[in-house]
Amino acid sequence: MEIILNCTQDSIKKAAKALKDGYLVAFPTETVYGLGVDASNSTSVSRIYEVKGRPTGHPLIVHISSISQMDKWAVDVPKHAINLAKNFWPGPMTLILKRSQLAKDFITGGQNLVGLRVPSHPTALMLIKEFEDIGGTGIAAPSANRFGAVSPTTLDAVVEELGTYLSNKDLVLDGGAAEVGIESTIIDCSDVIPKILRPGSISKEQVEEVYGLQSIDNISSSKVKTSGLLISHYSPVAEVILDGKTSPADGFFAMAEIQTPRGAIRLGSPATIEEYAKNLYSVLRLADQKGLKRISVIQPSGDGLAIAIRDRLSKAAAR
């Protein structure tokens, strides 16, 4: 694997070419780092599953450069989905839509639906644009972690997760620490009433405002299968204890105003909910790097981003 620090337009062009040649390129987004691949190349896409150790048949999000590319991958896009895209793209939102012929089974997991997202990180956007300029149509990218593990939010975390699994012609692009820190909000727009399949930093309330109607966040009403919905996911090796008793030598993570219990090892003190989300995954990683057996986490209360954080934490804590 080749690591590219301080990405310039030239190095991003090189990465776009590597994608076109069938190699994998891990790249930064504003949510978490993605492991990118040419979404129309079935051989390369199959390597994603090997490198991640992910069971096949899980669908991948296709990353595109703008709303104008939506029609390539999706058909019968409802007006409310276009409104959402106009409001929140580029940004941390994935729309699930009826697929076009371009979205093959190896991308959609055999479903008639495709997930699309326009990320806002400048390196990600430039990579997608450069890839489209040389004839690419979209970059499929799951989070750049091994299956079930914690998503990477820094270059070091990507290398730690996938370094030994990538080949020497695959690339990893640096883009600093991911700004949001947790994965995109996924909204199923394939039905009359939208459903939030995975909460993220774009909240249910923000979605409802654009729709002008109540969106259902009860995912059990959706027929869509999505791996982020597995009960256990985003898990470090350390056992994650939520709002429970902290023992001496446990790692500890909570908002800054909460005191560290006696003997516990403080791993972070975010002052805001945004900072909590941004630091969450690196804190879970830190617990493993320190070889801690347990990490005790006090969950944030409230709506919006706090809902997404509690969703990830409940999965990190499930065994």
Sites of contact with ligand TXA (CB under 6 A): 29, 31-32, 34, 58-61, 94, 96, 108, 111, 113-115, 117, 119, 141-143, 183-184, 186, 224, 226-228
- In the complex with Mg ion, the residue whose CB is nearer, 96 or 292, is 96
Q: Which does 178 bind (CB under 5 to 8 A by kind): Mg ion, ligand TXA, none?
A: none
Q: Which residues contact 20 (CB under 8 A, 6 or more apart)?
A: 38, 131, 134, 135, 136
CB of 30 to ligand TXA, least distance (A): 8
- Dist. CA 43–CA 22, nearest whole Å: 8
Q: Would you say 261 or 310 has its CB closer to ligand TXA?
A: 310
Spell 183-196 as b/e; 16+ CB within 10 A means b.
Answer: bbbbbbbbeeebbb
Judged by beta carbon distances under 5 to 8 A according to partner kind, the member of ligand TXA, Mg ion, none in contact with residue 32 is ligand TXA
Nearer to ligand TXA, 108 or 203 (CB): 108
Residue of 212, 18, 241 whose CA lies nearest to 131: 18
Q: Is 143 in the site for Mg ion (CB under 5 A)?
A: yes
Beta carbon nearer to ligand TXA, 96 or 284: 96
Least distance CB 244 / ligand TXA (angstroms): 27
Q: How far is the CB of 228 from ligand TXA (least distance, A)?
A: 3
CB of 191 to ligand TXA, least distance (A): 12
CB of residue 318 to Mg ion, shortest distance in Å: 15
Q: Which does 227 bind (CB under 5 to 8 A by kind): ligand TXA, Mg ion, none?
A: ligand TXA
Pick what 31 binds: ligand TXA, Mg ion, none; C-beta below 5 to 8 Å, kind-dependent.
ligand TXA
Q: Least distance to ligand TXA from the beta carbon of 102, Å?
A: 13
* Distance (Å, whole) CA 267 – CA 21: 41
The residues that touch Mg ion, with contacts defined as CB under 5 A, are: 143
